[in-house]
Amino acid sequence: MKDLIQVARGEKKADLLLKNARIVNVFTGTISSGNVSIYNGRIAGIGDYEAKREIDLKESYLTPGFIDSHVHIESSMVSPEEFASIVIEHGTTTVVADPHEIANVAGKAGITYMLEASKNLPVSIYFMLPSCVPATHLETSGATLSASDLRSLSKEKSILGLAEMMNFPGVLHCDPIVLEKLESFESKLIDGHAPGLSGKDLCAYTAVGIYSDHESTTPEEALEKLRLGMYIMLREGTAAKDLKKLLPIIDDFTAPRCLLSTDDRHPEDLIEEGGIDLLLRMATREGIHPIRAIQLATLNPANYFGLKDRGAISPGRIADLVILDDLKTVKVNSVLKDGQIVVREGELLLKPEKKSVPVKIKNSTKIREVKPDHFEIPVQGSKCRVVDIIPNEIITKQAVVFPKTKGGRIVSDIERDIIKIAVIERHSGTGNMFVGLVRGFGLKSGALASSVAHDAHNIVVVGIEEMDMAIAVNELRRMGGGLIAVRNGEVMSSLPLPIAGLMSDRPVEEVYEKVRHLEKISAGLGLKLREPFMTLSFLSLAVIPELKITDKGLVDVLEAKIVDLFLK
């Protein structure tokens, strides 16, 4: 502290001086030309200083490092080390992650792995502890986390609070298990997850100290939550794309309570489009002032999460800085982390060292071999419920149709785009599974399967022919989890995900190429969805309306209950 004071007063040389910068001030919304001095990883002062080393920014823009306010690292399908190596190149220097994906597979062991793998990386990774493991009683999860389990983990320095409380029915109906978790974290932050909640139910939900929400899909929904004091995370993920729809809520009064979030993004989107930098570009294109957009990704999340040592360019804050060629295109030139240049002219200077993965985390796919007849649906009525996909949304609708039948059994109906979908329990080898129908994939032949299936992450498979569905599932069993496309009995493409059936242990560039190949093959099967595997992964998410499918059956999310496939 004494040395920092002396450097700030100009009595001692700084380690580094960034000269001739256009400094973006997120406090005042202004840009000023000047120099920034850095000492021991922190900003010492702004002005004329002497330093051991100088870098002339030649009038480039200098902004605080970007902060992603809510992200599931597992959705990138790469390890934390590889994830960090992608997002740092796009200017993200801090993320607040919710590891509930791996927690639903491996419990405390999964969270411990994420905590260890996230240390000493070029990105600061903080965590909110998963509040809903399992997410509901309507699926079979790989683990259960009690309030006591969460309290024991909360002592870690990188833990900021309790992650998205998805079980809003449990809150509203005073479920004692839910209330114990909320009470255990009443002195910390608690993030929310309340799609469509309104009126007195929303009042009850916020009354227990739930401070944020990232599930708003309309301006009206977001504004109601803002009026009740919630922070709104404007999300743009791979599957859920809500940012453009929500930008109209931002004005002089609401802006400080709005944050940016990527939530779930696949590796090809992170590499090709970016992370938070993409959201900044989108916001600016839609008319949001560039500095206000940057506030949403720097000062606002820093204030919300109590990270007072970052989020702005001011004395004493950590020197997490982004050098931009242009504010509107948000083209990242270079990035400093803790005062050190880690990205120069778009290139990461040093890749993070790989961490070891516990054997228990790698051996997570325990399913019995399946046969084609496991996917047969005997006719038990004239009308069926169908999970109806809404493109670019993770919410679904419930449709009722007269299914196509043959020989007393339901078959896929390519003409009406109604095909089979099944979820198979993979955590303890019970063989529990349920087969239903889904509309909206556009699949003309073959099958797709995945061990990434929010939130319990059982095996989910869609297909036209039962033989292809069985081959896809059995191959995932052999791989230890992953993504796969099968046609006419042949594996066309696959991506092994041996880390909890969620993440690859390979370099991100390799994962990227495999995902691109999978999507190319999938398009050849007739799929009309841009992100078929991401869409597939959310069809079992039994906390997002309206109709979902789990290993226990069809779930009416609004009623929080299992419903019959056939209508009586």
61-115, pLDDT tens digit by residue?
999 999 999 999 999 999 999 999 999 999 999 999 999 999 999 999 999 999 9
Q: What is the mean pLDDT of the chain?
A: 95
Q: Do residues 121 and 161 both lie within one domain?
A: yes
Asked if residue 388 and residue 335 are part of one domain, the reply reads no
Q: Work out the percent of the chain whose per-residue pLDDT is above 70.
A: 100
239 band by pLDDT with thresholds 50, 70 and 90 = confident
* Separation CA 423–CA 545 (nearest Å): 18
Domain identity same for 90 and 190: yes
* pLDDT above 90 (res 559): no
Residue 272 inside a domain? The answer is: yes
pLDDT at 391: 84
Tokens of 416: 């009406």
Can you give the three-state secondary structure of 6-58, one letter per residue?
HHHCCCCCECEEEEEEEEEECCCCEEEEEEEEEECCEEEEECCCCECCEEECC
Longest Cα pair distance anywhere in the chain, in angstroms? Answer: 89
For the record, the structure tokens of 328 come out as 């509107």
What gap in Å lies between CA 536 and CA 527, rounded to an integer? 12
74 in the same domain as 28 = no
Query: Is 358 part of any domain?
Result: no
- pLDDT, tens digit, for every residue of 149-168? 999 999 999 999 999 999 89
Q: Give the number of other Cβ atoms within 10 Å of residue 102's Cβ.
A: 29
Closest C-alpha among 264, 224, 274 to residue 240: 264
**Average pLDDT, integer, range 109-128:** 96
Q: What is the rounded CA–CA span in Å between residue 163 and residue 131?
A: 6
Do the domain assignments include residue 155? yes
Asked whether residue 193 falls in the same domain as residue 292, the answer is: yes
Quote the tokens at residue 154.
Answer: 């909360």
Both tokens assigned to 567: 């209508």
Burial (CB < 10 A; 0-12, 13-18, 19+), residue 175, is: middle
What's the average model confidence in pLDDT over 527-546? Answer: 88
Q: Is the pLDDT of residue 194 over 90?
A: yes
Other Cβ atoms within 10 Å of 276 Cβ, number: 31
Q: What gap in Å lies between CA 62 and CA 43, rounded to an integer?
A: 13
Q: In this structure, are 55 and 67 located in the same domain?
A: no
pLDDT band at residue 293 using 50, 70 and 90 as cut-offs: very high
Mean pLDDT in residue range 275-290: 97
Domain boundary (13, 34, 59) is at 59
Plot region of 482 (φ>0 → left; ψ -120 to 50 → alpha; else → beta): left
Same-domain check for residues 379 and 315: no
**17 found inside a domain:** yes
In DSSP notation, 503-568 reads BBSS-HHHHHHHHHHHHHHHHHTT---SSHHHHHHHTT-TTSSSEEEETTEEEETTTTEEE-SB--
Q: Residue 97 and residue 83: Cα distance in Å, rounded?
A: 12
Q: Clarify whether residues 266 and 124 are in a common domain.
A: yes
Look at residues 297, 326, 349 and tell me which one is the last residue of a structural domain.
349
Question: 77: closest CA among 515, 544, 550, 423?
Answer: 515
Question: What gap in Å lies between CA 568 and CA 49, rounded to an integer?
Answer: 79
pLDDT tens-digit series, residues 338-371: 999 999 999 999 889 888 999 889 888 999 999 9
Q: Are residues 43 and 189 in the same domain?
A: no
**Residue 172 main-chain phi, psi, to 5 deg:** -65, -30
HSE of 1, CA atoms in CB hemisphere, 13 A: 0
In a domain, 182, yes or no: yes
The closest of 568, 116, 122, 150 to 385, measured between CA atoms, is 568
SS (H, E, C) 465-487: CHHHHHHHHHHHHHHCCEEEEEE
Q: How many helices (H) and strands (E) does the chain have?
A: 17, 31
What's the rounded Cα separation, in Å, for the pair 96 and 70? 5
Q: What is the model's pLDDT at position 135?
A: 85
pLDDT over 90 at 136, yes or no: no
* DSSP alpha helix (H) spans, 38-191: 80-87, 100-117, 147-153, 168-172, 176-184
pLDDT at residue 294 in the model: 98
Least confident stretch, 168-172, 247-251, 487-491: 168-172
The pLDDT, as a whole number, for residue 540 is 95
What mean pLDDT do residues 466-480 have?
96
Domain that holds residue 420: 363-563
- pLDDT at position 290: 97
Mean of the pLDDT values across residues 35-45? 98
231-235 sheet: strands from edge to edge = 212-213, 231-235, 258-261
What is the residue whose two structure tokens read 């909890």? 500
Q: Edge to edge, what strands does the sheet with 409-410 contain?
A: 377-378, 409-410, 405-406
Domain of 48, CATH number, reads 2.30.40.10
Shared domain check, 419 and 292 = no
Last residue of one domain, picked from the residues 349, 382, 413 = 349
Give yes or no for a contact between 333 and 60, defined as CB atoms under 8 angstroms apart: yes
The reported pLDDT for the residue numbered 334 is 98
Distance of CA 532 to the CA centre of its chain: 16
Is 428 in the same domain as 324? Answer: no
* Number of folded domains that form the chain: 3
The residue type at 21: A
Say whether pLDDT at 301 is over 90: yes
Helices within 185-240 (DSSP H only): 199-207, 219-227
Q: Is the pLDDT reported for residue 513 higher than 90?
A: yes
* pLDDT computed for residue 25 by the predictor: 98
Note the Cα 487 to chain centre separation in Å. 30
Whether residue 328 contacts residue 79, with contact meaning beta carbons closer than 8 Å, is answered with: no
pTM: 0.93
Are residues 281 and 368 located together in one domain of the fold?
A: no
Residue type, position 406, single letter: K
Contact call for residues 538 and 464 (beta carbons, < 8 A): no
> What would you report as the CA-atom Rg of the chain, rounded to the nearest whole angstrom?
24
User: What is residue 556's predicted lDDT score, i.e. its pLDDT?
Assistant: 94
CATH number where 170 lies: 3.20.20.140
